Every structure is written in structure tokens, then in C-alpha cells.
Chains A and B, each alone.
Chain A
Amino acid sequence: EAGVAQSPRYKIIEKRQSVAFWCNPISGHATLYWYQQILGQGPKLLIQFQNNGVVDDSQLPKDRFSAERLKGVDSTLKIQPAKLEDSAVYLCASSLDRTRRATDTQYFGPGTRLTVL
């Protein structure tokens, strides 16, 4: 089966600009996750969707970050305006059903590497 798809793979912008990332999860996966991975650190969960509803966005900097999953499939993550400290790899992951251990394995996409100058 096809894996999680993300685009773009790389993005370079200047601070105060806006940027958007796109994620297409594995077909049929109800749960979608966005992570931020700063160089030298592990992934940090930004937001978790169950279908098109937000389950957890406690670590999302809501003053500049937003995310949506309107039809319960694809998702976009936006940063507006970007800051230097937003430079990181943004990972998208999906799982079949987050509520059951048998189906909660998270499958990760290749990530988008963002550089803010």
C-alpha cells in the first residue's frame, strides 16, 4: 500500500513569510498527526486529528500555526508568519484507529524540511 505522502519535501523562506505543508495519509486511516522535529531533538506532536476533528492541539503555537483536515483525508499545516525558530522538519503521520492498540501504529511520511532565513 502507498505510504503517507507529504509535499513539498524542502522549503526555504524568509522570516515573516507564510508557508503551507500538505499531507495525504494512508487510505482509510482515521487519525492524522503533525509533528515538528527541530535538529537534534525528537519529534514533537503539534496536532492530532480524528477524521476531521481536532483531538489534541495543546502544543500547537496557535498564534502562528494552523492546521485543517476538512474532509477527513488530506491535511494542511500553515505557518503565518514564520520565525527563525520554526526551522525544522515537519512530519505527518497517520494511523488506522488511535483508540485501539491493534490499529494505532503510526506510519510516518518523509517530512518537509523548512528553513527560515
Chain B
Amino acid sequence: AQRVTQPEKLLSVFKGAPVELKCNYSYSGSPELFWYVQYSRQRLQLLLRHISRESIKGFTADLNKGETSFHLKKPFAQEEDSAMYYCALRTGGGNKLTFGTGTQLKVEL
């Protein structure tokens, strides 16, 4: 069965410091990984997906199949990055997403 693990419930960094939100997955097939974000009082929304290989709001994530990881990184954290981040795994031919438990990122001044 598929599984997504986000080991940190809370990550606190100072503004300008690098950020890395960890995500590991377990899936026997070919995975598609996503990062979703929920800002305070806003809806859950897609941040980025691995197949796009793009940087969104300064965030990047590389799929490492050897380590079964999809960590989210940003070189310099900004205050507006404070939010809840969820890693998600898409499996099968449909559009079923399995989410991790989320990491709350807090960027302090």
C-alpha cells in the first residue's frame, strides 16, 4: 500500500535561512509527487509537482527514487512562507492522492 511520511510536525526557521521540508514515500509503482500548501485562513492549494520540474515562489523539490524522497527546499525563507505544507503521492491511473500528515512551517523574524 502507498504511504507518505512527513517526519516533522513543526519546522521553525529564521527569515533568510534555508528551508527543507522532508517527505518520504512508499510505493511499488511509478510515483507522481506533489506539494500542497495551506496558508492561514486559505484553502489547500497545489504548490508544485515533480513532473513540472519548476520553481514556485522560490521552492523546488526533486524526486529521488533511490531514497524514495521528495523534499521541498527554499534557499532563503520569507515570512510569507509560513504555512502548512502537505506532501502527496498520486498512484494508479486515476487521480487519487495520498497525503502526508503535514509540516507546519513557521518563519520567524
Contact = CB atoms under 8 A, between A and B. Distances in A.
A40 B88 CA distance: 15
B43 A42 contact: no
Interface in B64-86: 86
B48 to A, nearest CB: 11
Classify chain A's interface size: 20 to 34
Contact of B101 (A31, A41, A45, A104): A41
A98 B95 CA distance: 5
A4 B43 CA distance: 10
B43 A110 contact: yes
A110 B88 CA distance: 19
Interface in A9-23: none
A85 B88 CA distance: 24
B44 A91 contact: yes
Given A42-B86, A42-B101, A3 B96 contact: no
Nearest to A58: B96
Contact of B4 (A42, A48, A107, A110): A42
Contacts of B51: 101
Nearest to B4: A42
Interface residues of B, number: 19
B46 interface: yes
Interface in A78-117: 91, 95, 98-99, 101, 104-111
A104 B43 contact: no
Interface in A52-92: 55-56, 91
B94 A108 contact: no
Nearest to A105: B46
B13 interface: no
Among the interface residues A3, A41, A43, A48, which one has the most CB atoms of the partner chain B within 10 A? A43
For the complex of A and B, list the 4 residue pairs with the smallest distance between their C-beta atoms, beginning with the closest. Answer: A42-B99, A98-B95, A108-B44, A108-B43
Interface of A: 3-4, 31, 33, 40-45, 48, 55-56, 91, 95, 98-99, 101, 104-111
Given A33-B95, A48-B94, A99-B95, 4 more contacts: A40-B9, A99-B93, A107-B45, A110-B43
